Structure 1
């Protein structure tokens, strides 16, 4: 099964303040702009293993980090910038989103995530399993602070799902299980038509809307079906250190691959030789909420993940490494960003070394 990853990173200056970073993407084909100036995105081509994903991430991040250092800038692997992001929107699509969503877009401007693409197989099974794996976001949560306030273990997920305005819930919330991918497509089409009406009511012409949106990318739900790629995209996790994402793939990719042979059924969560069992959707919603708010501090969450053979003891999310406190001041946030940037540089170096050792071992 082919995999692909997209990771978003904040760009900060030598003092830890958010700054423009889109010029960095000129140095690598696998770096692309995000819709605000202080975010850049790293993408990988399809790879056949987590190790292949690690190689691609190291390749592009090595380049970006080198050029960032030359201009006294750094990349930061945090799910939020900790305090308010006032970086300007930097794309026509972003401008349209501001016109449509208004204040509701502030949430997206303050969030950075990891998106994993799984090659399509049995799509209904993949959709349902990845929906059930939403609580695995707790394994890589990277920021408890949003706009200076401690919100949750994953403040990015909390803000996205609970602070973007009720009228946009259909576009961002976790969707229920489905046995019919065509039903999923119909729901996407409904969302597309509804958003087009909303855009028209806000003065966006039909031509403008069609130029920047299609049904496939009109929602930012934790799981998306991508026909063009074609993949099933899992968007639950925060952005974080690349090694944390690779570890996550090592646990989850083999499980998703098993959907080619095993049905996904509702029952007591776990994996047998005959099926993969996921909880009732109402129970899953409770699990996801707890994962967002408490992360691996909740036995409810880590026991659930271990039912899918995930060794939660090998995960040490960045979110749990912050100092205690209900708020974070701007000067403290700048220092934390710089510390997270140093962790990223060390993490990329360590991954590079591990890959070199593996290559030497394989060629021996």
Structure 2
């Protein structure tokens, strides 16, 4: 491993500690499911958790409570990215599918003997990227994995998976942090602009960490929404700029969902405005689901912004002369 290679995590995030300890206990007792569906909201550390579980399973230490040791051959090869019993099945690019040819190639590799006596870990991320033919090709292997093989299916949208895939896996839904947990963890990373990062991603600390200039990003999103409010003609241009790629569109939708949810909680002025905030939040989640289902980013954002604009609180207007209040009457 080179000096500048990223270090893979070996400790769970604070809000995932209980889930990790439970899996570790089950593994020590010989009750670890061979096919696990790990699900979590976007930006809350799903991949981090999978890395920690993989490190634990590939470590060659004898006792479960000593893993990952960080010094054995298994740990070192996992950290270097060259462990022969670790297999990753991912789309070739953002927003692309995992096709049947890639699955068949992976299954062919899994049919060979393991290199070491421990576990072999096959990881699919995101699992919802499996197209129907690819998913069908995996069914038998997911139902009856080979000896020592553990499948980790990672998904932020587990309901979009085929029922046949979900039925063959044991689901572990990971919790999201609350805002105080996010803040504490971000502060421990020594980051700047904590308040701005929390404002943009209150319960999505991994997105908050990844934002290189959160204040600039926050302003970009706010300015785009302001322009949509001023003129419906701006919707197409805004959707194009915000959805230049699928990852960029998802980042914007995550930010908007967090903002609308905060506004739905903070809006107490009128029942109408509270209802509108909740509806805008729902529309944002629907757009995110459509994006995960491979709707083109610009199309998903245009549809959202058209509906979002109509749900903004209306300015109150008077229809006749204003009656003076009691102080003015005097």
**Which TM-score bucket, shorter chain as reference?**
under 0.3
Point out the structure with max Rg over C-alpha.
2
Higher relative contact order (CA 8 A, sep 6+): 1
- Per the normalisation by structure 1, the TM-score is 0.24
- Per the normalisation by structure 2, the TM-score is 0.26
More strand per residue: 1
